[in-house]
Amino acid sequence: MHTVVLQSLNDFDEWRGQARELLRAGVAPDEVVWRDPKSEAGLFEQSEPDIAHAGDVRPVGAVPPAFIELAPKVLCHSDPERFGLLYRVLWRLQADRAILEVASDPDVVRLAGMASAVRRESHKMKAFIRFKSIVDDTGLERFAAWFEPDHYVVEMTAPFFERRFTGMIWAIVTPYRSAYWDGQSLAFGEGGTRADVPSDDAVEGDWKTYFASIFNPARLKVAMMKSEMAVKYWRNLPEAELIAPLIRGAKQAEQAMIKRAASQPPSHHLKRVERHIIEQPEPTEIVSLADARAAVQGCQRCPLYEHATQAVFGEGPGDADIMFVGEQPGDQEDLAGKPFIGPAGKVFDAAIEVVGIDRSRVYVTNAVKHFKFEPRGKKRIHQRPDAGEVQACKFWLNLERAFVKPKVIVALGATAAQSLLGKTATISKLRGAPITLEDGIVLFVTNHPSYLLRIPDREMAKLESAKFEADLALVRDYWRGLEN
Ligand code: URA
């Protein structure tokens, strides 16, 4: 029996190095015991220095990209069997490169389930982290948050916070690892405890107790520190003259952003959904709108999930007669997890109120569920989704249509019309009359409310608003006609 003692809980390169050695030596999966730093026996054991080669050194076959994609995520799962399971699959891949395509294979099902659980945990971390502000007597503000993940997701999720809160100094502490961003570089250190992070916004005294203890360089010595620069910054933090002006300028806006981000987490009751190897839910496994709402948080049908905070699913009664479909969530919607709550949402709310449509009776959603944007300084600038992204996301819109069964659908803007009609759409040609879709549902097409916000000329804006309201009045009349 061979024992492999890993130094890291979730380091793919380390596991891969060991697995390759074992493979080369022809060591079968059931001859290996894997231990990580959390395994009790692991504390007292050492890896065997040399693996006795069973006969010839074997060539290691090329591994399918799907395995390379899956394995780092599986390694972040907390199941102690993850290392052995991955090694067994790697071993089997040497004889059959296609096993990952067999969605019913028990090992493949397990791997896919573990990767899904890790991805969901990473989404949860993005949605549930709440930063506390810590201010020292120079006015320097830093932020810290405590999070207890079910899986080892800090390293894979921290870059998201780096992108989102670039201008701040922040720390995220978890029991197994902490992440630290000093405004320049991201570093990881030992885990901590809940007491390392103040329970409320704190002043300098508290900072000394908590923050200093989290980022005591001694605790970071084993960390995977990316640069010398980072160490220098930690040591200098109490003086902080270099960074303070930078931070002060951005302070209020960032604090507001954090509070907004924390205000509306998505549902944490993410229902377990079996996934096939590319980790997408099979349509047959989603049997209700609630299932779809939960499953969309794991969507990777297109790359937009990578930078968005969360998927924003539709909202409204599950049996609404009218479904409004916009383009994609904007900045505020992305943070809050709700559709049409930002500036475009305000225009929309006002217009439907004018014509007498009650928002609480309609279902409001988007053609694309993740926010597409380009970071520009601290701003996230809206980018129009492309045809591929719209097509990929149609899966979710179709589910919403299937469960809500609206009698009337309203496309707000060209992207929604394109998704619903399956071809490019010109609003001016389509507005003003009902269109019957293939399944018999009636579609109305009108402008996107954000179009009204972009019209510089006041007269023109008034005219377009009136046209928008007239379109909505047609919808109202059609709906009333159905009711009578
Ligand atoms: N624009 C949209 O299309 N949808 C939203 O939810 C917000 C802005």
Ligand 1 mutation target, pool 312, 324, 327, 364, most atoms within 8 A of CB: 327
Give the best-scoring range by mean pLDDT among 260-264, 306-310, 338-342.
Answer: 338-342
Q: How many CB atoms lie within 10 A of CB 49?
A: 5
Burial of 32 (0-12, 13-18, 19+ CB in 10 A): buried
Residue 168 CA neighbour count, 13 Å, CB half: 27
Q: Which phi and psi (to 5°) does residue 64 adopt?
A: -60, 145
Q: What is the 431 CA–ligand 1 centroid distance (Å)?
A: 19
> How many angstroms from the chain centroid is the CA of residue 333?
14
Angstrom distance (rounded) from CA 263 to CA 130: 9
pTM of the predicted protein model: 0.51
pLDDT, position 42 = 46
pLDDT, position 284 = 45
Closest ligand 1 atom to Cα of 327: 3
β-pairing verdict for 177-181 and 186-190: antiparallel
User: Of 109-118, 137-146, 337-346, 442-451, where does mean pLDDT reach its minimum?
Assistant: 137-146
pLDDT, position 475 = 98
- Ligand 1 environment, Cβ below 6 A: 326-330, 333, 339-340, 342, 344-345, 366, 450
Which residues are CB-neighbours of 360 under 8 A, at least 6 positions away?
316, 317
Bigger pLDDT: 264 or 375? 375
Q: Which residues pair with 472 in a beta bridge?
A: none
Q: What percent of the chain has pLDDT over 90?
A: 55
Which residues are CB-neighbours of 47 under 8 A, at least 6 positions away?
3, 4, 5, 18
- Region 71-84: mean pLDDT is 96
Q: Report whether pLDDT(129) > 50.
A: yes
Bigger pLDDT: 178 or 235? 178
pLDDT, position 165 = 82
Q: Which phi and psi (to 5°) does residue 435 adopt?
A: -120, 135
| Domain coordinates in residue numbering, the chain | 2-123, 129-196, 207-277, 287-483
Q: Which phi and psi (to 5°) does residue 142 adopt?
A: -130, 165
Q: Give the amino acid at 445.
A: V
What's the pLDDT tens digit per position in 250-300?
333 334 333 333 332 222 222 222 222 233 444 447 889 998 998 898 888
Q: What is the 129 CA–ligand 1 centroid distance (Å)?
A: 24
Bigger pLDDT: 161 or 233? 161
Closest ligand 1 atom to Cα of 412: 3
- Region 15-38: mean pLDDT is 93
Q: Give the amino acid at 464.
A: E
pLDDT, position 462 = 96
Ligand 1 mutation target, pool 264, 328, 448, most atoms within 8 A of CB: 328
Bigger pLDDT: 376 or 271? 376
Query: Which whole-number Å values give the CA distances from 16 to 21, 26, 88, 209, in the listed order?
Result: 9, 15, 13, 40
Bigger pLDDT: 252 or 330? 330
pLDDT band of 217, cuts 50, 70, 90: very low
Q: What is the 328 CA–ligand 1 centroid distance (Å)?
A: 5
Bigger pLDDT: 157 or 52? 157
What's the pLDDT tens digit per position in 378-404?
788 999 999 999 999 999 999 999 999
Closest ligand 1 atom to Cα of 312: 6
User: Of 228-237, 324-333, 377-386, 391-400, where does mean pLDDT reach its minimum?
Assistant: 228-237
User: Of 82-91, 174-183, 349-358, 409-418, where does mean pLDDT reach its minimum?
Assistant: 174-183
pLDDT band of 375, cuts 50, 70, 90: confident
Rg (CA), the chain: 26
Q: Which phi and psi (to 5°) does residue 189 adopt?
A: -130, -170
CATH class of segment(s) 287-483: alpha beta
What the block records as the tokens of 106 is 């028990």
Q: What is the 377 CA–ligand 1 centroid distance (Å)?
A: 22
- What's the start-to-end Cα distance of the chain, in Å? 77
Q: What percent of the chain has pLDDT over 70?
A: 78
Residue keyed to tokens 């944490």 = 268
Ligand 1 mutation target, pool 335, 349, 448, 451, most atoms within 8 A of CB: 448
Which residues are CB-neighbours of 74 under 8 A, at least 6 positions away?
82, 85, 86, 111, 114, 115, 118
Helix or strand run (H / E) with residue 118: helix 106-128
pLDDT, position 130 = 79
Q: What is the 384 CA–ligand 1 centroid distance (Å)?
A: 11
pLDDT band of 327, cuts 50, 70, 90: very high
**Mean of all residue pLDDT scores within the chain:** 80
b/e map 461-472, b = 16+ CB within 10 Å = eeebbebbbebb
